[in-house]
Chains A and B, each alone.
Chain A
Amino acid sequence: MNVLVLSGYGINCENETLHAFKVVGFKGKIVHINDLIQNPKQLNDYQVFAIPGGFSYGDDTGSGNAMAKKILTNLYDQLIDFSLKDKLIIGICNGCQILINLGLVPSLNKKDPEVAMIENKSGSYECRWVDVKVNNNKSPWLKNISILNLPVAHQEGQFMIPINLLKSIKANNLIGLQYINNHKKLAKGQFPFNPNGSKDDIAALTNQNGNVLAMMPHPERAFYHYHVPNWQNNTSKKFGDGYKIFMNAKKFFA
């Protein structure tokens, strides 16, 4: 099992993302986007393609846009190919924004991007811990998960989805994660449970196969128990909730 973790131009969560994959049993490498463009064939050596969080191109012209355009011009076909195989793709935070800008998720009509990521309703950057739940999504990334406690850290985390498309997304169960409140009910847009005002409290989307996951929260930052706020009150577990996402990737190939 090999994971390729993308880097370059302001992506910045590659180390911790690779670490999380390695702990659950993957081998892998951080590969600079320019090296991948030079030699796209190396994708064949990998089963998981991960775009970690960060600030590619400083979010200029919209978060994820510039990097998505670079991939679109140079690597798009290879990536589509990858997504059509029995392989996994994950985009976390900035990676999520890149996948959405590429249209790899939800990818219902296989043409231009259908969803946009826009600025948080609060107008400010939000770094805070949230609870999210999985609702009937069949993605291998989310298997056997009900609720996760994870941090978000973004300026543009609001999923903007045209109404008709939202209907098909729901009909196809492509909503990956939704923000919930302290009573474990949907946040219904209420801040800070829903940190960005995302419609239908959407925190993650998948493609139809479920092998591509675009999520705003950071599982790699909730990997160990001591990552979780106030962990001193509960030291019995070794891992945080983010671990489950990486374990699912491992189980998919096991």
Chain B
Amino acid sequence: MTNTIQILSIEKTGKESSLQKEHNNNSIKIIDGYFFSRNLDYQKFTKISKLISNDVSQTILTKKNVNKVLSSYCNFNWVVEIKFLPGVTDNIATTVKEIIKDNLKSSFKSFELGSTKIILIKGRKEDITKISKNEANPLIQTIKIYPFKQYLNKFKKNQFKIEKVKLPKKKYSKKEVNLDISDYHLSLIGKLGIEENDKSRRGTLGLDLESLKTIRNYFSTIKRKPTDVEIETLAQTWSEHCKHKIFSAKIDDIQEGIFKKYIKGATEKIIQLRKDNFCVSLFTDNAGGIEFNKDWIICHKVETHNTPSALDPFGGAITGIVGVNRDCLGFGKGAKPIANTYAYYLANPNKKYQLYRKKNKDPMLPANFIAKGIISGVRVGGNCSGIPTPQGNVYFDDRFAGKPLVFCGTVGIIPKKIKGKLSHKKKANPGDIILMTGGRVGKDGIHGATFSSEELDPNSPVSAVQIGDPITQKKMSDVIIRELRDENLYSSITDNGAGGLSSSIGEMAKESGGFIVNLEKVPLKYNGLYPWEIWVSESQERMTLAVPPANVKKVIKRFNARGVEATIIGKFIKKEKAIVKYNKTEILNLDMEFLHEGYPKLNLKTSFPKIKKEKKKIIKYSSLIDKLHKLLSSPNIVSKEFIATQYDHEVQATSIIKPLQGEGRVFGNATAIKPLFDDEKSIALSQAAYPQYAETNPYDMAGCSIDTAYKNLIVSGANSKKIAILDNFCWCSSDEPDRLYQLKEAAKACYDYAVAYQTPFISGKDSMFNDFKGFDKTGKSVKISIPPTLLISSIGVVDKISHLTKITPDDGDILLVLGNTLNELQDSVYYKIIGYEKSKNPVVNSKDALRTYRNFEKANKLEIINSAIGIDLGGIGIAVAKMAIASKKGLTIDLKLKNKISVDQFLFSESQSRILVSIKKNKLTNFKKVFKGSDYTIIGKCTGSDVVEFKDNKKIIRGKISDFAKSYKQNIKGL
């Protein structure tokens, strides 16, 4: 009899060797453990062990062999046992259960099981504690460290245990909340949550006093008290996350708010100017859609998952990416995800910030743990879902120490018409059944939810963070896209994201009128959830469908045949009422109008911020070559190849411009996929953000982001008339007038540049409070705010394969810089690392920029351009170095400058809207014809040697390409 199966690899695994290397300790072994809630007899133990292990590469531990097997490695003295906390998604356990169910059929029923990582070590206890901290996250896992002898003992005495979610047994009775109380008590409900019968509070609702008073007024007019479910629902629906109150608020003299005026306003203006069919579906759906070709639409959406990633980097990032995949699935009648994008804004992984959420306790995770976790979360999410992840970037700055920014994006594709009907139009009809499909509902993501278990310290609250389950989602997604959508079996579909069912059903019901939901029908991960918890839970991998009654049986059958659950939980109705029942008791009954539009509108004021200019010291580097090396190896320029190679960018066989470019593998600014086998059109993707420019001038910062994101697509070969952009504002302290001023300025620039470039915003999202309030290691209170960050993602259509450019010049090519280089070193990488005093920040001149871009596009179509790279961080110097590294071909650069700028200004200024291009010698005349009247400078040529050389009147300075490549490909310390 035993209740555990433990398996170890005979040979050293990759994980073991990296762990050994990291801790400089060769005596580390990892065991895959499975703990069962029931005892297994010998026969079952043998059968199950065989099902989940490999005879050739692994050994199964038994009471008999454990001592002998383990002592053959070394004399371990410590054991670290890492388990998921009860209720946290355990994907391995789910698979094992499925294997057992599938292969042992009915012979082994009703059991619980948990997967465990057991690390055996020989070493000192201090080291072991350090290792365990690096391998587990106390928010989602329990870590136990005990002597090896005790481990053997546990093994012999069947003492390995799993903890189940133990929720207090409770009978639900409808709970009414009294709002006729003092302002002070009312605000407590908003801040701490609804009071339970035992006087404890549920956790913050994020409702301010004014909102609560609005709710009180509503209920006094309908002459009854609100239920707890109603208040929870209103709190969710009215949250900043769902309603974007700041973007829609009156701000200074802008009545309609900055979203309507500047973002949507820009797109409306552009549509009016363009008069074409490029924009298909904007702002209203889960993602924004544009025309790809005459038969297909593509959509794009970018989300942020910052707070979850700060708490649990892996879980936060994986749910970020699979979550935004669902936004695609929920676009129109369901678009197939065809590419993922990512952008991470992180603290320096090599630094120890030592921040605490509470005085001397509740530490922030270390910066490198956060960085690694985020990178792997998106890896597992993307790779397991079979969606290529070609496009992304990473940026480091100390100001992200309190809150990392994690942007996850997805591109999808859908036929324009399905069975003769426009696919981007959907409408839940009165009478349609509400079908929830995919994963089950648990306490995931509920505010401040606390799990009770035997082992948890009751004083340590666990806010439940979710871990994604990409396989469950993949199974569900396959059914929707392949087996339901094209037969028009459902009338509407949306994703369950923030706010869970309350939000997805609430949104869809706008199409029909209202809804009735029976919450007791919702399948749960474990019993004991309160109705309000079921209603607002953010458990992942779920979609909500509106299905005409006649199709329901068929739809459920198709899901079930693929191992996916689908459950009827209510129906859409015509009456504009939101009604929720639990075992026939009505627990929510609100007017749809009040639910969606009843919240009090904000009225915001801005004020001009005081700019603190930091004085930079000038560090002396002996030569130009040293400076180049210094910049090339700096974290924000150094190659991100290690991410590109762990993200599968080849799946679906669409990758056409890859993240690593040229024989020398330079991490590109833009990538392209060719999504259809029978059309040569491809989709180019890029993105840009300049948080480092924000404090100096937020307007110009936003201009630079739009310009760079747009430029990168022009450079890649996209058709300038088929480029769309997405805005993701990540701001800080958005209740402070100076931050709001910066926001307004940035939004204004969005309007100006989008309209100038005629590139519409098609989708966006904002996250307004990325601030950390806590303590440093001395117990002093600190506030760390991110720099205002506007990520612009760009998506464009490349009409022909031959339009796609490369970044590698050929021998004899002439090198030219298109656009004007000014002394704009302020806030540049050079400024940060080397320092420079009298300089301006980069400003985009859209007229000049457009002239350059139009000419480039023309020249590229005429095959005048042989290679091209957008100039951004680190200026011309870095662009030149990248071209040389990518092509492994020498370049010679002329430094006899005509303008009144210094060599350093010329090489490292981050002036915008510039492109470094190479052309064949014999194309120069044609080039000059196309670029007549436009700014360009011939700066040198491609020699094909093994050095990059810089020449002025007096001397020639040389640097070997292989040395530059070494600097550029340096590992980022701490990762």
User: With A and B bound together, what is the CA distance between A62 and B661 in angstroms?
Assistant: 33
List 14 A-B pairs, Cβ < 8 Å.
A55-B471, A60-B96, A61-B96, A115-B56, A116-B54, A119-B14, A120-B14, A123-B17, A126-B645, A153-B383, A160-B56, A227-B656, A230-B663, A230-B808
User: Which residue from B98, B102, B648 sits with its C-beta under 8 Å from A125?
Assistant: B648
Residues of A close to B647: CB separation below 8 A: 125, 127
Q: Which 7 A-B pairs have the closest CB atoms?
A: A12-B386, A123-B14, A116-B57, A60-B95, A16-B653, A116-B56, A119-B14
User: With A and B bound together, what is the CA distance between A12 and B383 in angstroms?
Assistant: 10
State whether the Cβ of B453 lies closer than 8 Å to any Cβ in chain A.
no
Closest to B99 in A: A66
Residues of A close to B134: CB separation below 8 A: none
Q: A73-B103, A125-B379 are in contact. Are A113 and B646 (CB under 8 A)?
A: no
State whether the Cβ of B227 lies closer than 8 Å to any Cβ in chain A.
no
- Contact mask B659-671 → A, CB, 8 Å, 1/0? 0111100000000
Are the C-beta atoms of A61 and B650 separated by less than 8 Å?
A: no
User: With A and B bound together, what is the CA distance between A54 and B648 in angstroms?
Assistant: 11
Are the C-beta atoms of B661 and A230 separated by less than 8 Å?
A: yes
Residues of A close to B806: CB separation below 8 A: 230, 232-233
User: Which residue from B17, B98, B662 sits with its C-beta under 8 Å from A121?
Assistant: B17
Are the C-beta atoms of A70 and B658 separated by less than 8 Å?
A: no
Among the stretches A83-91, A170-178, A217-225, the one at the interface with B is A217-225
State whether the Cβ of B846 lies closer than 8 Å to any Cβ in chain A.
no
Q: A12-B474, A55-B384, A58-B95 are in contact. Are A122 and B379 (CB under 8 A)?
A: no
Question: Helix, strand, loop or mixed for chain A's interface?
Answer: mixed
State whether the Cβ of A28 lies closer than 8 Å to any Cβ in chain B.
no
User: With A and B bound together, what is the CA distance between A55 and B292 in angstroms?
Assistant: 29
Are the C-beta atoms of B651 and A118 separated by less than 8 Å?
A: no
Are the C-beta atoms of B663 and A127 separated by less than 8 Å?
A: no
User: With A and B bound together, what is the CA distance between A19 and B96 in angstroms?
Assistant: 33
User: With A and B bound together, what is the CA distance between A53 and B650 in angstroms?
Assistant: 11
Interface residues of A in 1-37 (CB under 8 A from B): 7-10, 12-13, 15-16, 19, 32, 34-35
Are the C-beta atoms of A227 and B15 separated by less than 8 Å?
A: no
State whether the Cβ of B475 lies closer than 8 Å to any Cβ in chain A.
yes
User: With A and B bound together, what is the CA distance between A38 and B523 in angstroms?
Assistant: 27
User: Which residue from A19, A60, A151, A221 sits with its C-beta under 8 Å from B91?
Assistant: A60
Interface residues of B in 796-839 (CB under 8 A from A): 801, 804-806, 808
User: With A and B bound together, what is the CA distance between A148 and B361 in angstroms?
Assistant: 57
Between B13, B475, B563, B648, the greatest number of chain A beta carbons within 10 A of the residue's beta carbon is seen for: B648
Between A60, A62, A120, the greatest number of chain B beta carbons within 10 A of the residue's beta carbon is seen for: A60
Are the C-beta atoms of B15 and A13 separated by less than 8 Å?
A: no
User: With A and B bound together, what is the CA distance between A57 and B58 in angstroms?
Assistant: 19
State whether the Cβ of A137 lies closer than 8 Å to any Cβ in chain B.
no
Q: A12-B386, A58-B384, A60-B95 are in contact. Are A151 and B663 (CB under 8 A)?
A: no
Residues of A close to B103: CB separation below 8 A: 69-70, 72-73
Are the C-beta atoms of A232 and B804 separated by less than 8 Å?
A: yes
CB distance from B222 to the nearest CB of A (A): 49
User: With A and B bound together, what is the CA distance between A128 and B475 in angstroms?
Assistant: 27
CB distance from A112 to the nearest CB of B (A): 6
Are the C-beta atoms of B384 and A10 separated by less than 8 Å?
A: yes
CB distance from B909 to the nearest CB of A (A): 30
User: Which residue from B471, B646, B662 sits with its C-beta under 8 Å from A57?
Assistant: B471
Residues of B close to A7: CB separation below 8 A: 478
Residues of B close to A55: CB separation below 8 A: 383-386, 470-471, 474
State whether the Cβ of A42 lies closer than 8 Å to any Cβ in chain B.
no
State whether the Cβ of A40 lies closer than 8 Å to any Cβ in chain B.
no
Are the C-beta atoms of B18 and A123 separated by less than 8 Å?
A: yes
Interface residues of B in 943-970 (CB under 8 A from A): none
Closest to A153 in B: B648
User: With A and B bound together, what is the CA distance between A123 and B22 in angstroms?
Assistant: 12
User: With A and B bound together, what is the CA distance between A176 and B58 in angstroms?
Assistant: 25
Are the C-beta atoms of A126 and B646 separated by less than 8 Å?
A: yes
State whether the Cβ of A65 lies closer than 8 Å to any Cβ in chain B.
yes
Are the C-beta atoms of B14 and A113 separated by less than 8 Å?
A: no
Residues of B close to A59: CB separation below 8 A: 384
Interface residues of B in 253-268 (CB under 8 A from A): none
Residues of A close to B655: CB separation below 8 A: 221, 227
Residues of A close to B658: CB separation below 8 A: 229
State whether the Cβ of B92 lies closer than 8 Å to any Cβ in chain A.
yes
User: With A and B bound together, what is the CA distance between A120 and B384 in angstroms?
Assistant: 17
User: Which residue from B11, B475, B562 sits with its C-beta under 8 Å from A160?
Assistant: B11
Interface residues of A in 119-141 (CB under 8 A from B): 119-128
Are the C-beta atoms of B646 and A230 separated by less than 8 Å?
A: no
User: With A and B bound together, what is the CA distance between A55 and B382 in angstroms?
Assistant: 11
State whether the Cβ of A226 lies closer than 8 Å to any Cβ in chain B.
yes
